[in-house]
Amino acid sequence: MKDQFLVTGGARLFGQVRVDGAKNSVLKLMAAALLAEGTTTLKNCPQILDVPLMQKVLEGLGCAVDVQGDTVRITTPARLSWDASFEAVRQFRASVCVLGPLTARCGYAVVALPGGDAIGSRPLDMHQSGLERLGARTHIEHGAVVAEARDLHGAEIHLDFPSVGATENILTAAVLARGRTVLDNAAREPEITDLCDMLSSMGARIAGAGTSTITIDGVPRLYPTEHHVVGDRIVAGTWAYAAAMTGGDITVGGISPAHLHLPLEKLKVAGAELETYNNGFRIRMQGRPQATDYQTLPYPGFPTDLQPMAIGLSAIARGTSVITENVFEARFRFVDEMMRLGADASVDGHHVVMRGIDKLSSTDVWSSDIRAGAGLVLAALVADGTTTVHDVHHIDRGYPNFVENLQRLGAQVQRVPEGY
């Protein structure tokens, strides 16, 4: 049975919360374990729905996966299955990250075209063209991407856009390719650096992680390792915006503030007080926030995954804000739900104009993706009455213990069955 959240507005959030490992990292690290025979151990893993989904994907490829709390152990056999066209692969977008490791380890891969969040088109053309530059042949057949490579070799590869997924698949193929690969206009996200750190601990030779040019010198084989997953900057940013929206005071641990530099700076512009620490930060807000403009861009720009939170803050800010979406064209579906809550918004192409009002009004709203769902919960915290948030399984895919953490911070929120 599906669940829903009942969120009663009016509470100011206070307290401390610690974030777990990043959803956008752990799933790619689990896939990278395919590159080495033996047991790889991941620590600080978030307890979210996507982890057991990736577990099913890896088990379908022949791995043994043991999940105990925040620790995931993946035992990869000497001979893997190369066919990842089964149903579990289609359920979430991150499953496509097995394409690079399977191509490198098996010389052949069939990976079902994945599903995931309804936030816009995310084609695999850069994934395919990158692998083809490394010597693979690829095509789409029967709803799956097929890659064949008898002898991967290094190459110079330029990405038209710094795609995180394409960067990951090219990296995980190039580490076992013969010779040197230079990847230009690579994604710079902290999760990419985390993947490079793990691959390096497995014996890969990688330079330039965290920059737009990554150099990989291929090695004959990799070895299992133990790795601590980087903290989830999107979850941390969600708590930061929750504090600002509710006029609260929240200290967030388990995250490098440098990974959220621009979102935290935007909160300061909106009137929040910020303190940073080695492994966390504190956000305090008194009164209504000031209107602030946002435009989403690849890292180190403002994250598209925090765009719903920026819209939520703008909905109750003093003045008018313009939010520009440059990454996923369908992410403004969230605005329709915000307007159900009474937000004064208008969408023009990839811009939305938000005219701030004093308070939102409660109603029923529906989550369309992970971040939209979390954004709707934050908006419900600043609405009068009780808002029902439906389709919260999306939120469970990215936010561990979301309701429990909100309750500890003082929010009035319940998880109940649909139709309650």
Condensed to tens digits (0 to 9), the pLDDT of residues 291-324 reads: 999 999 999 999 999 999 999 999 999 999 999 9
- Pair 31, 99: CB distance under 8 Å: no
Q: Is 416 annotated as a binding residue?
A: no
Q: How far apart are CA 119 and CA 371, in angstroms?
A: 10
pLDDT attached to residue 113: 86
Condensed to tens digits (0 to 9), the pLDDT of residues 11-35 reads: 999 999 999 999 999 999 999 999 9
Q: How far apart are CA 359 and CA 361, in angstroms?
A: 7
Q: What is the pTM of this model?
A: 0.95
Q: Is 305 annotated as a binding residue?
A: yes
Q: Is 23 annotated as a binding residue?
A: yes
Q: How far apart are CA 188 and CA 159, in angstroms?
A: 12
Q: How far apart are CA 250 and CA 244, in angstroms?
A: 9
Condensed to tens digits (0 to 9), the pLDDT of residues 173-223 reads: 999 999 999 999 999 999 999 999 999 999 999 999 999 999 999 999 999
When pLDDT is cut at 50, 70 and 90, the band that residue 47 belongs to is: very high
List active site positions.
117
Q: What are 149's two structure tokens?
A: 């490579």
Q: Is 327 annotated as a binding residue?
A: yes
Cβ neighbourhood burial of 220 (10 Å; 0-12, 13-18, 19+): exposed
| Residues whose CB is less than 8 angstroms from the CB of residue 233 and which lie 6 or more positions away in sequence, other chains included | 22, 190, 255, 256, 259, 260, 303
pLDDT attached to residue 119: 39
- Pair 165, 95: CB distance under 8 Å: no
pLDDT attached to residue 116: 46
pLDDT surpasses 60 at 408 = yes
pLDDT attached to residue 12: 97
What average pLDDT does this structure show over 108-117? 78
When pLDDT is cut at 50, 70 and 90, the band that residue 121 belongs to is: very low
Condensed to tens digits (0 to 9), the pLDDT of residues 125-166 reads: 999 999 999 999 999 998 899 999 989 999 999 999 999 999
pLDDT attached to residue 136: 98
Region of residue 135 (phi > 0: left; psi between -120 and 50: alpha; otherwise: beta): left
pLDDT surpasses 80 at 120 = no
